[in-house]
Structure 1
Amino acid sequence: MTLDRRRFLRSASAATAATAGGTLLALGEPGATPALAAPGGFPDYRYVRTLLTPEKLSYNPTGEIIFPCVRGVYDRLPTFLGRYYLYYAPHDRPGGICLAYGDSLEGPFTEYPRNPIVGNVWKPHYSVSHVSSPHVMWHAGRREMWLYFHGENNTTRLARSKDGIHFRYDKAVLTTAMLPAGTTETSYARVFPYRLPDRGARYVMVFMRNDRANHRDIGWGWSADGRTWTFDPEPLIDHAAVGASDVSGAHLLRRGGRTYVVYHTDKGSGGNILITEVGADFSRRDHLGVFYDSGSAAPENGRAAAPAFGTDRGVPYMIYEAGGRLSGVIAMARG
């Protein structure tokens, strides 16, 4: 299917959604009715501008940054540097969890002057080659920002903060030993408040998993407290089921009482962000196709990845990696 054809179908879907009074819910965030729609009735996000470029950052050990996560903090923290905190990281050693802040999801974002806020050595807890892939969840019960990040690629860790800047280490929450034998990577995790009553769960995790076949899939797990997890031994999204060599960078979305996972493919498989409906209990596997088409021009250069979502004054936004892996920027698209 051509890009123009996809956009025509999205426009038709949007008209149906608008007639039905459809709204966007980027898990836990209120949204606005989109004028255009992607599969599932989500907005047809369009690239607007670059938010962060490695060469313009003071903390730039490797010339690359990945995996943005944006959180509104103005209604959650007693004091804050800006209405929105944008977390990101280099990937290659030493990596480092970084923070930028701004008053609008349109930007501009200002680099926190003392990055990284979490490094690859945190005595006595760990000393690893790199830490990366920050995902921050607001824990309403604890009134804390919970940071999930990886380092090494076989371990996902948790740290917690009262102000979103200064974190205290908690524990490792996911390792390859918790999945079937032969698993080699468990990283790029995102965690969301989500109730699964039959499993006694209040939180769900989606993450990238790899094994000796060296084709990356999306895994998932559930937890009662966000700290101790149970993981499905089978992939949530199998790379082969969506015609890709690798999939990664998953994010959970809900709309109209339905649950979806979006994730990106490797550039060799299109470099796009895809969407799958997984059902309220994660038993469904309805692969709906392209959620976001990467453009051939800069800064995307045929690859869009690791999306995060937010809503600012009723307008939905997607913050994502644009460009080749380890040679891209953090970009913003508006719905």
Structure 2
Amino acid sequence: MHEPHLDRRLFLKGTAVTGAALALGATAAPTASAAPGGFPDYTYVRTLLTPSQLAYNPTGEIIFPTVRGVYDRLPASGRLGRYYLYYAPHDAPGGICLAYGDSLEGPFTEYPHNPIVSNKWSPHYSVSHVSSPHVMWHAGRKEMWLYFHGENTTTRLARSTDGIHFTYDKVVLNTSMLPSGTTETSYARVFPHELPSRGAHYVMVFMVNNTTNHRDIGWGWSADGRTWTFAQEPLVRHGDVGAVNVGGPHLLHRNNSTYVVYNKDKESGGDLMITEVGNDFSLRRHLGVFYDSRASAPENGRAASPSFGTDRGVPYMIYEAGERLAGSIAMARG
């Protein structure tokens, strides 16, 4: 049976879930659901990547996984595996990295020539670090579009036809596009999402910080994924969900509504939270804990920066597990 694209559709308990960062499969067996919004109750299964086991390991830490199915998108002759897993160290020099595998259960093999994007790309930029890779399959262009930050004030776009070798495009977000006093705009993810009233086909969610040093979730919209308009007020405010900081946002769509899943910092509990924003982003229904991080290793009380999807009908979540800058990339199954 042909498997649909890894980018656009989740099928859980017979109900379509569209607009996810991962859409990995076709149909899923009925799954017990305990998370708000009718989403499955994910359970940690295993660690996929650990910094100490990687050849490219400049800082001893990695963050922000994004997985894309490439089995029916990229030519078989140059394809390394069915799935490409993008990740990065955060601290300088960072570096956008790639691993590949044939199942979301693992194993994943480190690409031998990491980083595929470094902190110096002449003549476009020279920064202390690049990090937080989010790759979107652009169906119209038939390209992999990579959004990444460096510095924390700036999100950039690069494009690729093979998911490995990228061509620099442009800056798509920086602090100057947000209100005065904004100090960080980073950890962006971009999703195909229709907003007819705004003439938009794509939505970006990201972390935003200001001089108060409390991080919120921001958002923006675009007709083409390159040129963006940004809301000047946060999509999710840290104080509205009882957090010091929130970050690592991800969109999900279910039962004809749209949700954002994001992480609280360790000081605020370290769990993944969920807010219903609606298809037009006019709602702010804070629904509570989406995933309760475990006190034991590897999570040690913190889960963050999730990606979602299904592989051969089984729902998965790929995420950061463990304290920030001291964790690994883990996999949970629904």
Task: Identify the residue that residue 136 of structure 2 maps to in structure 1.
Answer: 137
Could you tell me which amino acid in structure 2 is paired with residue 215 of structure 1?
H
1:118 aligns with 2:120: no
Is residue 19–residue 192 contact of structure 2 (8 Å, CA) maintained in 1? no
Counterpart Cα distance in 1 of 2:255 and 2:287: 16
User: How many residues get paired?
Assistant: 317
Q: Secondary structure at the match of 2:240?
A: helix
Alignment of 1:12-161 (within 5 A): 21-25=14-18, 27=20, 29=23, 30=26, 32=28, 33-79=30-76, 80-161=79-160
Counterpart Cα distance in 2 of 1:227 and 1:256: 29
Counterpart Cα distance in 1 of 2:16 and 2:63: 29
Q: Secondary structure at the match of 2:305?
A: strand
Q: Secondary structure at the match of 1:309?
A: strand
Alignment of 1:199-210 (within 5 A): 199-210=198-209
Compute the displacement of 1:118 (Å). Answer: 0.1
Distance 1:273 1:171, change over 3 A: same
Q: Secondary structure at the match of 2:73?
A: coil
Distance 1:31 1:120, change over 3 A: farther
TM-score for both structures, normalised by structure 1: 0.93
Task: Identify the residue that residue 193 of structure 1 maps to in structure 2.
Answer: 192
Counterpart Cα distance in 1 of 2:263 and 2:72: 31
Q: Secondary structure at the match of 1:290?
A: strand
Counterpart Cα distance in 1 of 2:262 and 2:143: 27
**Where in structure 1 are there 5+ consecutive unaligned residues?**
1-16
Distance 1:220 1:318, change over 3 A: same
Alignment of 1:183-332 (within 5 A): 183-332=182-331
Is residue 22–residue 41 contact of structure 1 (8 Å, CA) maintained in 2? no
Is residue 219–residue 230 contact of structure 2 (8 Å, CA) maintained in 1? yes
Distance 1:31 1:126, change over 3 A: farther
Task: Identify the residue that residue 162 of structure 2 maps to in structure 1.
Answer: 163
Counterpart Cα distance in 2 of 1:184 and 1:266: 18
1:234-283 per-residue CA deviation (whole Å, 9 max, x = no partner) reads 00000000000000000000012110000000001110000000011001
Could you tell me which amino acid in structure 2 is paired with residue 222 of structure 1?
W
TM-score for both structures, normalised by structure 2: 0.93
Q: Secondary structure at the match of 1:153?
A: coil
Compute the displacement of 1:35 (Å). Answer: 2.2
1:270-326 per-residue CA deviation (whole Å, 9 max, x = no partner) reads 100000000110010000000000000000000000001121001110000000000
Is residue 19–residue 191 contact of structure 2 (8 Å, CA) maintained in 1? no
Could you tell me which amino acid in structure 1 is paired with residue 99 of structure 2?
A
Compute the displacement of 1:26 (Å). Answer: 6.0
Q: Secondary structure at the match of 1:129?
A: coil
Could you tell me which amino acid in structure 2 is paired with residue 255 of structure 1?
R
Compute the displacement of 1:78 (Å). Answer: 1.1
Counterpart Cα distance in 1 of 2:208 and 2:48: 29
Q: Secondary structure at the match of 2:282?
A: coil
Could you tell me which amino acid in structure 1 is paired with residue 66 of structure 2?
C
1:163-202 per-residue CA deviation (whole Å, 9 max, x = no partner) reads 0000000000000000000000000000000010000000
Q: Secondary structure at the match of 2:239?
A: helix
Is residue 64–residue 132 contact of structure 2 (8 Å, CA) maintained in 1? yes
Counterpart Cα distance in 2 of 1:23 and 1:189: 24
Task: Report the aligned-residue RMSD.
Answer: 1.2
Counterpart Cα distance in 1 of 2:100 and 2:156: 23
Task: Identify the residue that residue 5 of structure 2 maps to in structure 1.
Answer: none
Compare 212-221 and 29-38 and name the one that shifted more: 29-38
Compute the displacement of 1:85 (Å). Answer: 0.3
Is residue 24–residue 42 contact of structure 1 (8 Å, CA) maintained in 2? no
Q: Secondary structure at the match of 2:267?
A: helix
Compute the displacement of 1:88 (Å). Answer: 0.1
Counterpart Cα distance in 1 of 2:47 and 2:158: 28
Is residue 322–residue 328 contact of structure 1 (8 Å, CA) maintained in 2? yes
Task: Identify the residue that residue 176 of structure 1 maps to in structure 2.
Answer: 175
1:12-64 per-residue CA deviation (whole Å, 9 max, x = no partner) reads xxxxx95xx54544627255242233110111000000000000000000000
Identity of aligned residues (%): 77
Counterpart Cα distance in 1 of 2:59 and 2:184: 22
Is residue 56–residue 115 contact of structure 2 (8 Å, CA) maintained in 1? yes
Is residue 17–residue 252 contact of structure 2 (8 Å, CA) maintained in 1? no
Counterpart Cα distance in 1 of 2:119 and 2:15: 44
Distance 1:173 1:31, change over 3 A: farther
Counterpart Cα distance in 1 of 2:147 and 2:53: 26
Is residue 73–residue 85 contact of structure 1 (8 Å, CA) maintained in 2? yes
